[in-house]
């Protein structure tokens, strides 16, 4: 079930879903490298590396590979962790606390109990409305939607 929540500002993109798995499993899929690699990129893209030091200031590195074999590294940093509830990270730093070439977005992922299922919400906050538009044009909705399908399917079988 996909709903279309209203972003709180013109700099934000949001995806939310009610997923029929416990939030602990979704949190594991978001934070354990071997699980992350199985859903993080929208197929036929793949995730060849997924490292996340799950603590404030911890580094993350996700490398996605295009169907043509080109690799795209996404270095970032974790800002906040509430186990099984919340995960916040950004590309504004490449490691603690080295500013990146271009602060693009901050992702706030939340997992909440809702009637025996999990309310999964992924918010992408950008520093400018222009960057939000760029992200939307890059295929945010389709990409994150497909990844949410992959995430839900994986979480249901672990």
Q: Which spans of this chain sit near a copy of itself (rule: CB under 8 A)?
A: 11, 56-57, 79-80, 88, 90, 92-93, 96-100, 102-103, 106, 108, 125-127
Q: From the CB of 79, what's the least distance to a copy of itself, in Å?
A: 6
- Using the minimum distance from each CB to a copy of itself, give the nearer residue, 66 or 128: 128
- Using the minimum distance from each CB to a copy of itself, give the nearer residue, 48 or 128: 128
Q: Where are the beta strands (DSSP E) in the chain?
A: 2-3, 12-19, 46-52, 59-65, 71-82, 86-90, 93-95, 98-99, 105-114, 117-126
The H or E element spanning position 9 is none
The C-alpha atoms of residue 26 and residue 31 are separated, in whole angstroms, by: 9
Q: From the CB of 80, what's the least distance to a copy of itself, in Å?
A: 5
Q: From the CB of 157, what's the least distance to a copy of itself, in Å?
A: 32
- Using the minimum distance from each CB to a copy of itself, give the nearer residue, 15 or 125: 125
Can you say whether the dihedral through the CA atoms of 21, 75, 33, 149 is positive or negative?
A: positive
Q: From the CB of 37, what's the least distance to a copy of itself, in Å?
A: 26
């Amino acid at each position: 079930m996909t709903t279309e929540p209203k972003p709180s500002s013109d700099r934000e993109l949001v995806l939310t879903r009610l997923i029929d798995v416990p939030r602990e499993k979704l949190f594991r899929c978001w934070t354990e490298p071997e699980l992350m690699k199985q859903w993080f990129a929208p197929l036929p893209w793949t995730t060849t590396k997924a490292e996340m030091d799950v603590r404030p200031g911890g580094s993350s590195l996700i490398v996605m590979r295009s169907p043509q074999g080109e690799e795209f590294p996404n270095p970032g940093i974790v800002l906040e962790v509430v186990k099984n509830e919340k995960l916040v990270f950004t590309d504004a730093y490449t490691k603690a606390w080295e500013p990146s070439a271009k602060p693009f977005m901050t992702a706030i992922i939340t997992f909440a109990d809702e009637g025996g299922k999990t309310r999964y919400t992924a918010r992408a906050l950008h520093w400018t409305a222009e960057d939000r538009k760029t992200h939307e044009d890059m295929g945010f909705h389709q990409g994150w939607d497909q990844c949410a399908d992959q995430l839900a399917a994986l979480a249901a079988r672990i």
